[in-house]
Amino acid sequence: MRRRGRQRAVIDPRPDTVARTGRFKYKPGTRIMLLQEGTWMDAHVVDYFGLRDGNRHRVRLGAARDTDEAVPTMVLDLNESNHGKLLFPSVTKYAESRAQYYKELAAKHSAIRDEATGKELRVEYQRIYLAPNEEQVDVIPEDKGGGVPAAGSHDERSLPLREFLDSLISASARDASSTWSRIVRVGSRAEIELLQQQLLFLLSARLGEGSSRIGLVPIVISSMSKLAEPAEGAAKKRSGSALTRVFESDYGAQAEMLKQAMAMRSLVIVLQITDTSDMLHLTEAIIEELLSNCTIVICTDPEIVPEALRARCECWRIAGLGLFANDAELGDKHLKELLRRMLPRGIATESHYCRIVRLHIGSTLGAPGDFR
């Protein structure tokens, strides 16, 4: 318990209410990026106060080589939330590299192939509704005005994926006392693919809107075996992180940007866990690294997720899907196959099409009676 004037603040330190902090000790002249009034800014260290004062430093805004001495210094306790060691020439250069990555990620995950029709569908138009895993009733938000399901519509038991992500990356979600990571239970590999595509596209679009406050960087780990692969070559040995090696295998040109994001604990890690064999690659060190960032675990059974990770996550599930195919040319054959797959077939053979609660299609049907 700590007194604040006449008020008392009760502190209950537990694994789910606190976050481990690091020890920071920088030499004078070290370049850092500092969070000031919601904006990341260039700064450098003027002085370190010593071990007795913990992480307290004297800093000044601006680069060390061209700082105006008239700019006043500030005394701050540096932590993971308010600063990061700058690995780029400037904050602007880092933001440019991050913006380019958002564009590449959005382009890579902008379309998905529909199994029933064989058509490419635009990911931005599809809808996924999530609900807390303990919920038993799938209640899907009503659309206002028809057409594409409204991205902002919701009720207490179901949440559109867009709103799910907005709450996840909001400033309040980054509080140490909040549960930041999530587990999403899916029913099939098709749902894994659909959810992953939507997550990465929506995250890149949302984070690429230009907010300097939200500097998160999405990364996907679709193959757990990559975490166990030995580093090959001097470049990979220098990375020193299994997560960095996974990233470099797909976006080698963006390796420095990822290292900067990792230093700031700003990764959004989309992690696939499909069976118990994946657990062999989740070492204690990797789990700790996952928990130091925002992690979204996609799995068919939350019980196979290691307890150390599961205990720090909220558990959600897919409650419904919205399929938008207005921009695809669908014939009678396509529609018959699509509607056939939407029919309930029992739990053992149920597909993700049985979860469709919003269907938007454009088609030139045959004469009455042709469609059966």
The whole-number mean pLDDT for each consecutive block of 10 residues of the chain, a chain of 372 residues, reads 58 67 89 88 93 93 71 90 90 91 91 89 92 61 43 59 85 51 90 93 84 72 69 49 73 82 86 82 84 89 90 91 85 85 66 86 52 38
**CATH code for position 173:** 3.40.50
CA angle in degrees (0–180, nearest 5) for 275-276-280: 120
Say if 23 falls within a structural domain.
no
Asked if the structure places residue 252 within a domain, the reply is yes
Domain assignment present for residue 349? The answer is yes
Query: What per-residue confidence (pLDDT) applies to 24?
Result: 92
β partners of residue 84: 33
Beta bridge partners of residue 183, listed in sequence order: 297, 315
For residue 107, give its domain range.
91-136+156-231+238-361
Q: How many domains does the chain have?
A: 2
138-172 burial, b for 16+ CB within 10 Å, e for fewer? eebbeeeeeebbbeebbeebbbbbbbbbbebbeee
Same domain membership, residue 40 and residue 108: no
- Return the pLDDT at 209: 74
Q: Does residue 354 form part of some domain?
A: yes
Q: Is there a single domain that holds both residue 214 and residue 355?
A: yes
Cβ–Cβ < 8 Å for 215, 266: yes
Residues 299 and 274 sit within 8 Å (Cβ to Cβ): yes
271, 191: one domain: yes
Residue 61 inside a domain? The answer is yes
